[in-house]
Amino acid sequence: MALSIDLAGRVALVTGGARGIGRGITEVLLDAGATVVTCGRSEAEPPAGATHRQCDVREAESVDALVAGIVADHGRLDIVVNNAGGAPYASAADASPRFHDKIVGLNLMAPLLVSQAANRVMQHQETGGTIVNISSVSADRPSPGTAAYGAAKAGLDALTGSLAQEWGPRVRVNAVDVGLVRTADTADHYGGDATVAAIERTIPLGRMADLAEIGRVVAFLASDLASYVSGASVACHGGGEQPVFLYIAQSGQSNREGERL
């Protein structure tokens, strides 16, 4: 019997699910048969087949209204993907307390608020539910220039394990620690295709992830195929980042060999 991810009959919420990585997740969940609702602070056009609601996931009242609306429309909530997040570059020495508060609020406190609201529904459903937190490789390594973001994602991974223990067996909670992902803005963000290609050469799999690859990991964790997976932080980074000293050493060796030739 072939294995397949079947989310037919499941209702999913993807925060920030109309753009970027969230959009890729939404598309995969739709392909797997789920009914998907996306949300964001402003109006947006989600992938065909999904619906979108305005919500500031940092505000408890807004989150409660969002979840109540989904349950009113669909009768249930089976899957939550806490995807909304991110941070602009800012020196930790110079960024204001308000800036750091906003970054931690979006990347750590917002997923907690959404998860709490979802859990109150899922605990009373016969089939429970599942929550997937979109974290980052920044949770496990220094994050210069986005220090508050890295700290928040480390907190999100810790939160994932704690919620899995508190809310099981009815609700499973997992995280995906995402590495570099190609989006429509990747080349602009890194300064051009040549720079992106150079970065990709440092990744063991030789390239950044595409959006669907992140979505498929999320879909697996949300599905019955992962029925005994809870409290896990799953790395999705193409093999991880090569140590800088090793990359420099290898580059130097290549240059020396070129000189000998």
Dump pLDDT digits (tens) for 152-197: 999 999 999 999 999 999 999 999 999 999 988 898 888 899 999 9
Give the separation between CA 176 and CA 134, rounded to whole angstroms: 5
47 occurs within a structural domain: yes
5 occurs within a structural domain: no
**86: CATH:** 3.40.50.720
Query: What's the predicted TM-score (pTM) here?
Result: 0.93
33 occurs within a structural domain: yes
48 occurs within a structural domain: yes
Catalytic residue among 149, 190, 228, 247: 149
6 occurs within a structural domain: no
Compute the average pLDDT of residues 1-16.
Answer: 94
107 occurs within a structural domain: yes
Residue carrying the six token digits 């750091």? 100
4 occurs within a structural domain: no
149 in catalytic set: yes
What percent of the chain is predicted at pLDDT more than 70? 95
145 occurs within a structural domain: yes
> What is the average pLDDT value for the chain, to the nearest integer?
94
CB 218 within 8 A of CB 25: yes
**pLDDT tier for residue 245 given thresholds of 50, 70 and 90:** confident
Give the separation between CA 208 and CA 253, rounded to whole angstroms: 25
What is the count of structural domains for the chain? 1
Query: In the structure encoding, which two tokens stand for residue 110, read together?
Result: 């917002």
Q: Which residues touch 162 (CB under 8 Å, ≥6 apart)?
A: none
Model confidence at 60: pLDDT above 60: yes
Angle between the 110-122 and 60-74 helix axes, to the nearest 10 degrees?
40
**pLDDT tier for residue 256 given thresholds of 50, 70 and 90:** low
Instruction: Write out the residue range of the structural domain in which residue 214 sits.
Output: 11-260
Write the burial class of residue 206 (CB in 10 Å: 0-12 exposed, 13-18 middle, 19+ buried). exposed
Compute the average pLDDT of residues 50-54.
Answer: 98
